[in-house]
Structure 1
Amino acid sequence: MSVANSSQRRIVVAAAVLVATALTLAVAWGRSGAPAEAAPGEGWVGTWASALAPAGGGIAGKGFTNQTVRMTVRTSVGGDETRIRLSNAYGTQPLTVGRATLALPVANDTPQIQPATLRELTFDGRQQVTVPKGGQVLSDPVPMPVRALQELTVSVFLPAATGPVTFQFNAREPAYIGAGDQAAKAEYTVTDSRNYWFFLSGVDVRTRHAAGAVAVLGDSLTAANGSTLGLHRRWTDYLAARLQDDPGEADPAVLNLGLAGNALAHDGSEIGFPELGVNGLARFLRDAPGQTGVRTVVVALGINDIQIYDDSPERVIFGLRQLATQARQLGLRVLACTLGPFQGFTSWTPGKENTRLAVNAYLRDSDQFDDVIDVDAVLRDPDASGKLRAAFDSGDHIHPNDAGNEAIAKAVPLDLLTGS
């Protein structure tokens, strides 16, 4: 080996050691920007988050040029300062953000904001920021107190062509699209709207009253396809409300990281729908422990591996075991959801039902998880275990309606989320 090559090797090894050290420190600092020895409940925590995916066709594939997107989100816990995260994880080029703002909406079904609440966001003190291809950016904190279960409006002005977007196509909330820079306008002029979240991956708050965060890594049952649009009727929304009603001093935030059509071991692009996201094993680190202040991960994946891809029980169980192992390696509590019934849905077969039952039997008996949330037991018809209860059926025989989502939330023992 030449001296030059030997020197290069030492540089590469040294760099690898630095990266490993940085990762160790990141875990020790709890992924929240606060040292591990900080007082419980003190520091930054995610109050809202979304799993994002690559664009398919339509407006997401085309992207934006000289347009503003205005989006509504709902907090799960409150705090005294606020910041946002913007993601270009699946972009094909650098993303230019010309301006971003935060405000309180006039109502949850309107793009208009309360002018006195408007906060201009900066990134290292600058209004404009470039998000690298595949990267994300975190805004500077602003002194904006927010309450738990409060709606926030995030506006992002995109001055240059974005190319295909990074987005969530099942927001259950409208995103309003307008021409030019309207990020700071109280009266917003809408040219189009979609039930999407564009580029926005998280909102964090600084607080002394939250016991970390619970990240729910799921599919369309977590994203709540069968729930009422615009009314925050996902089971994680009901769960966040339950936690706020709990008399305890500090409650965890609840972060919904559901992607409709998502699977443990398959990308949506395999069936021509990239917007269904990359597989759960590929997105796990970013979408679950990668959120601010996460202490507990709930795995609610596997049904699509069965009903779409007809995977064997062994393959589904392998994916679940892998996620449990990876969560434990990071020092996180990990819970699993059993797989709900879907007899009557277009893809159901007796063979797939047997696979679902085998996976559920494994989950109920497994020691790989700290505990199990038995979604199947909540949703199934007592007289026909392969079917959804009629009172919980949104109409497609796989996705629960508002009542079904509320029932799931009510079935979660709150001490499972904190380990108390």
Structure 2
Amino acid sequence: MIKRRRVVAGLAGLGLAAASLVAAAGPASGGIPPRWVGTWGTALTAPSLANTGSSLNGFADQSIRQIVRVSLGGEQVRLRFTNAYGTGPLTIGHATVGLPAAPGSPTLQAGSVREVTFNGGSASATVYKGAEVLSDPVDLPVAGTSELAVTIYLPTPTGATSWHWTARQTSYVYAGDRAADTDGTGQTAAYNHFYYLAGVEVSTKTGLGTVVVLGDSISDGSGSTLGANTRWPDYLATRINSTWPALGDPGVINVALAGNQVTKDGLAINSPALGNSALARLDDDVFNQPGVRSVFVELGINDVHLSGFTAEQIIAGLKQLAAQAEAHGLRTVVATLGPFEGYATWTPEKEAVRQAVNTWLRGDTGFDGLVDFDQILRDPANPSKVLPAYDSGDHIHPNDTGAQALANAVPLWLL
């Protein structure tokens, strides 16, 4: 892979990013045949040791309705389910996909529910331990940045689940088979987690490939409004969909995990829901995504404040991320580490590590581009702190306004 001219974007890069919208889009779609593009995805992990959200015990004779927001639209959809962390085969007895009657609502639009089949028409599927299953194409037109409701009925005990801890979106659990019901009332539980659903693809004539966001809680949406799809990658998807014409626009797949580290697994601190290290999950969460063409890396702050790693250790891990992505022919963009003074784990020594990593990131790192999240989020009067207008209140995670500012700083043409 020939390295491109390195691009640095921060506050000064906002005008460049906005000016590039038309250039990024390309010509009209014409007679180009449709292609399958990833439009939504999430990173799944081993269950909580404390059985949070029934993730360890699992489900039996229950339905789960999950609301997800796609990035690109299309004429058909297909779904990918995983049993990566199960202890035995997973049976999906019945699955459907439909359109919520209102944003985040478990009640669906009349006439929108479509049956999901597998292997050329089967209503059920077995997902073997450690494996995935891809559904048949479903004829359901979806608009870009709209929501889908995916419902699965699990007839037999699942055991340990494959889940996403901090979904920032409510999933609804029902007794029995409720997959075909448009009425979303009567749930027995409501959890802010995703289960088993790893990805959604759309058949599109205008989308081309996917951008994968490999990050931590900053990208996973901690601090954002629950159920509002205000993570910064959501805002990025909205910007991409606002370009005209749209040929070549990528889908956005957010595989960020709260608490994730570059080089250390969550299980090492008794928190498997934080996921394997970013280096350990490159194959599954990045390289195996449909049509991945670029990866945005937003990682490192947890290595600083959770594990107390040195700058040299963190930099070595980030170098490996860049090298392996380049070896797979991917364009790479990296973010600096944002400020966190005022957060419970902050110390002057950890601040020095953060600054050292950022100094390296602003140099010649091997990444194709840099978006300076630190410059965007910091308070000019107190650079080790988050700007109050962008602070969610915990002094490390941006609020919705801060997330919008991060998304606005990403040059679309670089993706």
Aligned to 1:228: 225
* Contact 2:262-2:279 within 8 A present in 1 as well: yes
Aligned to 1:32: none
Segments of 5+ residues of structure 1 without an aligned counterpart are 1-38
Aligned to 1:260: 258
Aligned to 2:63: 68
Shift of 1:55: 0.4
Aligned to 2:174: 178
Shift of 1:289: 2.0
Aligned to 2:141: 145
Residue-by-residue CA offset, 1:103-149 (whole Å, 9 max, x unaligned): 00111232111231111111102111111111111100011111101
* Contact 1:41-1:210 within 8 A present in 2 as well: no
- Of residues 33, 45, 67, the one that matches 2:37 is 45
Greater RCO, CA 8 A, separation 6+: 2
Aligned to 2:342: 344
Write the letter of the residue equivalent to 2:385.
K
Structure 1 runs of 4+ off > 3 angstroms? Answer: 39-42
CA distance in 2, matches of 1:318, 1:160: 45
- Of residues 338, 358, 361, the one that matches 2:359 is 361
- Of residues 259, 280, 287, the one that matches 2:285 is 287
CA distance in 2, matches of 1:377, 1:206: 38
Which is worse superposed, 239-248 or 273-282?
Answer: 239-248
Aligned to 1:92: 87
* Contact 1:79-1:146 within 8 A present in 2 as well: yes
Write the letter of the residue equivalent to 2:46.
P
Residues 1:155 and 2:151 aligned together:
yes
* Contact 1:215-1:289 within 8 A present in 2 as well: no
- Of residues 119, 124, 131, the one that matches 2:127 is 131
CA distance in 2, matches of 1:242, 1:352: 34
Residues 1:213 and 2:198 aligned together:
no
Q: Compute the TM-score of the two structures, normalised by the length of structure 1.
A: 0.88
Shift of 1:249: 2.7
CA distance in 2, matches of 1:392, 1:42: 40
* Contact 1:334-1:371 within 8 A present in 2 as well: yes
Aligned to 1:83: 78
* Contact 2:319-2:365 within 8 A present in 1 as well: no
Give the SS at the match of 2:312. Answer: helix
Write the letter of the residue equivalent to 1:294.
V
CA distance in 1, matches of 2:65, 2:288: 25
Give the SS at the match of 1:68. Answer: strand
Residue-by-residue CA offset, 1:4-27 (whole Å, 9 max, x unaligned): xxxxxxxxxxxxxxxxxxxxxxxx
- Of residues 391, 394, 399, the one that matches 1:393 is 391
Aligned to 2:11: none
* Contact 1:105-1:113 within 8 A present in 2 as well: yes
Give the SS at the match of 1:316. Answer: helix
Q: Which has the higher helix share?
A: 1
Write the letter of the residue equivalent to 2:308.
D
Aligned to 2:242: 245
* Contact 1:338-1:363 within 8 A present in 2 as well: yes
Which is worse superposed, 182-191 or 62-71?
Answer: 182-191
Give the SS at the match of 2:144. Answer: coil
CA distance in 2, matches of 1:367, 1:167: 33
CA 1:41–1:274 in structure 2 vs 1: closer, same or farther (change >3 Å)?
A: farther
* Contact 1:41-1:209 within 8 A present in 2 as well: no
CA 1:40–1:404 in structure 2 vs 1: closer, same or farther (change >3 Å)?
A: farther
Aligned to 1:332: 330
CA distance in 2, matches of 1:383, 1:55: 42
Aligned to 2:46: 54
Shift of 1:41: 8.7
CA distance in 2, matches of 1:248, 1:397: 39
CA distance in 2, matches of 1:396, 1:179: 37
* Contact 2:63-2:152 within 8 A present in 1 as well: yes
CA distance in 2, matches of 1:50, 1:164: 18
Q: Compute the TM-score of the two structures, normalised by the length of structure 2.
A: 0.89
Output aligned runs, 1:264-283, within 5 Å. 264-283=262-281
Residue-by-residue CA offset, 1:254-312 (whole Å, 9 max, x unaligned): 11111100111111111111111111111111111211111000111111011100001
Give the SS at the match of 1:112. Answer: coil
Write the letter of the residue equivalent to 1:246.
T
Shift of 1:355: 0.8
CA 1:42–1:335 in structure 2 vs 1: closer, same or farther (change >3 Å)?
A: farther
CA distance in 1, matches of 2:33, 2:323: 26
Segments of 5+ residues of structure 2 without an aligned counterpart are 1-30
Write the letter of the residue equivalent to 1:358.
A
Aligned to 1:376: 374
Give the SS at the match of 2:401. Answer: helix
* Contact 1:40-1:211 within 8 A present in 2 as well: no
Question: CA RMSD for the aligned pairs?
Answer: 1.2
Shift of 1:224: 1.3
CA distance in 2, matches of 1:282, 1:158: 30
Shift of 1:42: 4.4
CA distance in 2, matches of 1:361, 1:100: 49
Shift of 1:48: 0.5
Residue-by-residue CA offset, 1:301-359 (whole Å, 9 max, x unaligned): 11101110000111111111111111111111011111100011000111111111111
